Amino acid sequence: MAALGWLTPRRRPATARSVLAGEAAAEAARKSSLPDDQSSATDQDTSVLTATEEPPFPVVGDDRAAAFFDLDNTVMQGAAIFHFGRGLYKRKFFQRRELTRFAWQQAWFRLAGVEDPEHMQDARDSALSIVKGHRVSELMSIGEEIYDEYMADRIWPGTRALAQAHLDAGQRVWLVTAAPVETATIIARRLGLTGALGTVAESVDGVYTGRLVGEPLHGPAKAEAVRALAAAEGLDLDRCAAYSDSHNDIPMLSLVGHPYAINPDAKLRKHARALDWRLRDYRTGRKAAKVGIPAAAGVGALAGGTAAAVALHRRRR
C-alpha cells in the first residue's frame, strides 16, 4: 500500500523553500510580463458610487487590482507539464518508457480531476531530468511549437472569457502554476495575459542544471508568489481576484478579496460553498449554486466543456 501513498493529497504550511519558490516566481514573472499599454483599459471614475451600491466587477481602471489564474484544469484541460512531455517525446528528448509514464500520469490527472502534490512532483522530477543540460532558449522555442500542437485547443473558453473581462477592465492578469515558468510564460503570452508565475528551474549561463529554485510552485508556494508579486507591483490583494479548480490552491484563493472556484474538485466546492465563494463549472455547462461571472464573459462561455468530460462526469455521479 505504501506505493499508493501519492494518491492521498497532503496539506502542509508554507516553508522557507515555499517562500523562496514564490519569490523566484514573482521575480521571473515581472521580468517576462507584457507592458501595461497592451491592455484595453479605459479609465472610469468610481468615486460616485454610493455606499449602498455594489460596484461592478471587475472594476474598470483599478490599477491596484489584478487577477490570478491557476492553469491546470482551470484555464486549460489537463496538466501543462504532461502536454509538454508529449511534445518533448515527439522530438526524441526521451524514450518510450518515459512516455508511458507521462501518459499514465496524464490519465490519472484527468480521471481524478485533482492535483496531488507528490504525483505532480514526480512528473516535474521527470521533466527536470529530461531538460538538464539543454539551453533555456532551446526549450522556449520548442515550447512555442508544443503549445500549438497540444495546448491551444484545450483552453476553457469560459475561463478565457473571465480573464479577458479583467483585461478589458484594464487590470493585469497572471497565470499561477506549478508548470515551468517558461511554459507558463508562453501560454500567458499566447492568451494575451500580463505574465505568469511558475516553477523556476535553475540555469547557469542559460543551461538548465536539473535543479529547482526552492520547490515546485504548488499549494502554499503559490500564495507566497502572489503575495510577493503583489508587494512588488503595488497591488491591493483585497481588490484582487483569484481562480482555481483545486483545494490545494485554497491558500492562494484565501489571499484575495474575490476568490473563485472554477471546475472545482469536491473539497474546494465544499470549502467555497461554506465561505460563499463564487463557483463556476465549465466541464458540463451547468451553473454552480452561486455564479459570479462578469457580463463580458457572455452566455457562450458555457460551451467550454467537451463531450468526453461530460461522459466522465456522468460515470462518476
pLDDT tens for each residue of 21-74: 666 677 777 777 655 544 443 333 333 333 344 456 788 989 999 999 999 999
pLDDT in tens, 252-294: 999 999 999 999 999 999 999 999 999 999 986 444 433 333 3
Residues 6+ apart with CB under 8 A from 99: 85, 86, 89
Question: Nearest 5 degrees, angle CA 149-CA 150-CA 152?
Answer: 85
What is the mean pLDDT of the segment spanning 105-115? 52
How far apart are alpha carbons 134 and 111 in whole angstroms? 33
Closest to 229 (Cα-Cα) out of 18, 30, 15: 30
pLDDT in tens, 155-171: 999 999 999 999 999 99
What is the mean pLDDT of the segment spanning 74-92? 87
How far apart are alpha carbons 303 and 188 in whole angstroms? 22
Strands 207-212 and 201-204: antiparallel
Q: Which of 45, 62, 63, 72 is catalytic?
A: 72
pLDDT in tens, 7-20: 333 444 556 666 66
Q: Which of 62, 70, 245, 265 is catalytic?
A: 70
CB-CB contact of 162 with 294 (8 Å): yes
Known active-site residue 238: no
Average pLDDT, the chain: 76
How far apart are alpha carbons 63 and 146 in whole angstroms? 33
Q: Which three cell numbers stand for residue 45?
A: 471614475
How far apart are alpha carbons 217 and 225 in whole angstroms? 8
Known active-site residue 37: no
Q: Is this structure's pTM higher than 0.75? A: no
Half-sphere exposure of 269 (CA within 13 A, CB side): 11
Task: Say which DSSP state 247 is in.
Answer: G
Residue 89: per-residue pLDDT: 82
Q: How confident is the model at residue 310 (pLDDT cuts 50, 70, 90)?
A: very low
How far apart are alpha carbons 150 and 87 in whole angstroms? 8
Reduced to 3 states (helix: H, G, I; strand: E, B; else coil), residue 277 is coil
